[in-house]
Amino acid sequence: MTNTALLKRATTLGLGASLLAMTSAFAGDLNVWAWDPNFNGAAMNKAAEIYKADHPEFNLTFNAFSREEVEQKLQTQLASGTIDGLPDIVLIEDYSAQKFLLSFPGAFEPLTNAFDYTQFADYKVALATVGSETYSVPFDSGVTGWFYRSDILGEAGYSAADLENITWDRFIEIAKDVAAKTGKPMLSLDINDPGMFVILLQSTGHWFFDENGELDIVGNEAFKAALADYTEILQAKEIYKPVSGWAEYTGAFTGGDVAAALTGVWITGTIKAADMPGQWAVAPIPRVDGVEGATNASNLGGSSWYLLTSSQNKDEAKAFFNDVWASNIDFYQDILVGQGAVGSLLASREGAAYQSNDDYFGGQAVWQDFSNWLGQIPGVDYGIFTYEVRSAIATQLPALADGADLDEAIEKIEAEARVLTQ
């Protein structure tokens, strides 16, 4: 019968397919998941290149998925107990570190004895530590800056000094003035992504949770002040271009539609890819007014590498980490200038690149600036539910932009967050 013949042929094909699957996973290949080919992917590839020079048999494959996809895949497979599809090394954003470490005990390899963690920035070590074990290879800091087009702001009459040590109210004034004089909105803004609000919030030294990990939203004065400032930005519609998705967000400033991007230092690679040397500069972010301890420095994102216990190549991975990520100062200078990766290895910050002036940013000593701001970021404990709460915040943003009552919105955020963190 035709059907059975087809079935037979199909079974043979199936066998062929499983053979194919087997050959792709032979020992010595380190499989890595991360999201940005221009940033963390590029840094990892550079590290592999360096290591490969002395270890020719070493091979590393970088797979790019969106950050959401990386987290969903990791969660799906760890929850289902399937390990075949897991990589050896995965990049996890700092916000999600505790969630993964606590939800899937045993899934990540403790590296406490593999490195000397005192070489790394304390806060990066702390957020990857559960009990007495630390699990990460600390990667980058998300120290924030106000990347602006010095030519456009200059045309509107603003110099670097005008942008230092200001509040968000002043920021909005300047942005309105720039928009009026040059026709360019200051920012691109995706209302689905509350990342910018998160910058404001952390700069106050507060977060969504109190020290016991309980929701701290209603009655959190810093949260309210930060949200009030952010709402003012949302309502000043002439100062931003509404966009949807990351490609449009970055396209707006690399394509010259808007005058600035206010985000983490890791955006440097994207800004440099636009090839507009000398037209860019960086200022510190504005400050939330009226909150004690609020600073002109904050953090957005930042992430670390984690080794999975299911990996067949753990020793090799550890050797690689030790050789490059935990000791190679030159490597860190490379990825700093190339990708804007402000590494967490403290010694690397004494390197030459950190002292240098960057011509792309008009000769500004940007890396020294970022180093200084890095020291001023107020520390917060991200807890395990950052993205759940972010989602609850995102729900209220369009209404706030249309003039909804702030206190009511905060109550709704708390109510929704409470359900999601149950």
Q: Which is nearer to other proteins, 68 or 164 (CB)?
A: 68
Q: How far is the CB of 208 from other proteins (least distance, A)?
A: 14
Cα 48 from Cα 54, distance rounded (Å): 10
Please report where in the chains the tokens 């200001």 appear, as a residue: 166
Q: Which of 8, 12, 15, 21 binds other proteins (CB under 8 A)?
A: 21
Q: Which is nearer to other proteins, 79 or 347 (CB)?
A: 79
CA atoms within 13 A on the CB side of 275: 0
Q: How far is the CB of 403 from other proteins (least distance, A)?
A: 14
Q: How far is the CB of 222 from other proteins (least distance, A)?
A: 23
Where do the H-state alpha helices sit in 204-241? 221-235
Cα 401 from Cα 233, distance rounded (Å): 8
The reply to whether 68 sits near other proteins by the rule CB under 8 A is yes
Q: Which is nearer to other proteins, 287 or 412 (CB)?
A: 412
Cα 371 from Cα 344, distance rounded (Å): 11
Contacts of 50 (CB under 8 A, 6+ apart): 324, 328, 331
Query: Assign residue 181 a region: left if phi > 0, alpha if psi is -120 to 50, beta otherwise?
Result: alpha
Instruction: Map residue 120 onto helix, strand or coil.
Output: strand
The reply to whether 265 sits near other proteins by the rule CB under 8 A is no
Q: Which of 159, 165, 192, 357 binds other proteins (CB under 8 A)?
A: 192
Please report where in the chains the tokens 């909005």 appear, as a residue: 172
CA torsion angle 46 52 58 61 (round to 10): 20
The reply to whether 62 sits near other proteins by the rule CB under 8 A is no
Q: Which is nearer to other proteins, 38 or 333 (CB)?
A: 38
Q: Which two structure tokens, joined as six digits, stand for 256?
A: 């010259």
Q: Compute the 3-state secondary structure of the chain and give helix, strand, coil in percent, each to the nearest 5.
A: 50, 15, 35
- Whole-angstrom CA distances from 111 to 117, 237, 273, 400 are 9, 48, 35, 44
Q: Which is nearer to other proteins, 266 or 280 (CB)?
A: 266
Q: Which of 30, 32, 36, 107 binds other proteins (CB under 8 A)?
A: 36
Query: Assign residue 290 a region: left if phi > 0, alpha if psi is -120 to 50, beta otherwise?
Result: left
Q: Which is nearer to other proteins, 274 or 365 (CB)?
A: 274
Q: Which stretch binds other proteins (CB under 8 A): 210-218, 259-267, 275-283, 408-416?
A: 408-416
Q: How far is the CB of 391 from other proteins (least distance, A)?
A: 8
Q: How far is the CB of 34 from other proteins (least distance, A)?
A: 9
Site for other proteins in 92-151 (CB under 8 A): 99, 103-104
Q: Which is nearer to other proteins, 64 or 130 (CB)?
A: 64
Which DSSP string do the residues of 256-293 spell out, in sequence order? Answer: TSSSEEEEEGGGHHHHHHT--TTSEEEEPPPB-TT-TT
The reply to whether 17 sits near other proteins by the rule CB under 8 A is yes
**Cβ atoms of residues 323 and 343 within 8 Å:** no
Sheet holding 260-264, edge to edge: 260-264, 144-149, 280-283
Q: Which stretch binds other proteins (CB under 8 A): 223-231, 236-244, 300-308, 336-344?
A: 236-244
Give the binding-site size for other proteins (rule: CB under 8 A). 69
Cα 39 from Cα 49, distance rounded (Å): 15
The reply to whether 85 sits near other proteins by the rule CB under 8 A is yes
Q: How far is the CB of 266 from other proteins (least distance, A)?
A: 11
Q: Which is nearer to other proteins, 336 or 394 (CB)?
A: 394
Q: Which is nearer to other proteins, 66 or 112 (CB)?
A: 66
Nearest by Cα to 386 from 172, 198, 160: 198
Q: Which stretch binds other proteins (CB under 8 A): 13-21, 128-136, 148-156, 313-321?
A: 13-21
Q: Which of 28, 157, 183, 255 binds other proteins (CB under 8 A)?
A: 255
From residue 361 to residue 400, the character string flagging contacts with other proteins as x (rule: CB under 8 A) and all else as - is -----------------------xx-xx--x--xxxxxx-
Tell me how far apart the terminal alpha carbons of the chain are, to the nearest angstrom: 57
Q: Which is nearer to other proteins, 20 or 161 (CB)?
A: 20
Cα 190 from Cα 86, distance rounded (Å): 32
Catalog residues that contact other proteins under the rule CB under 8 A: 1, 3, 6-7, 10, 13-14, 17, 20-21, 24, 35-38, 63-69, 71-73, 75-77, 79-82, 84-85, 99, 103-104, 190-192, 241-248, 250-251, 255, 384-385, 387-388, 391, 394-399, 412, 415-416, 419-422
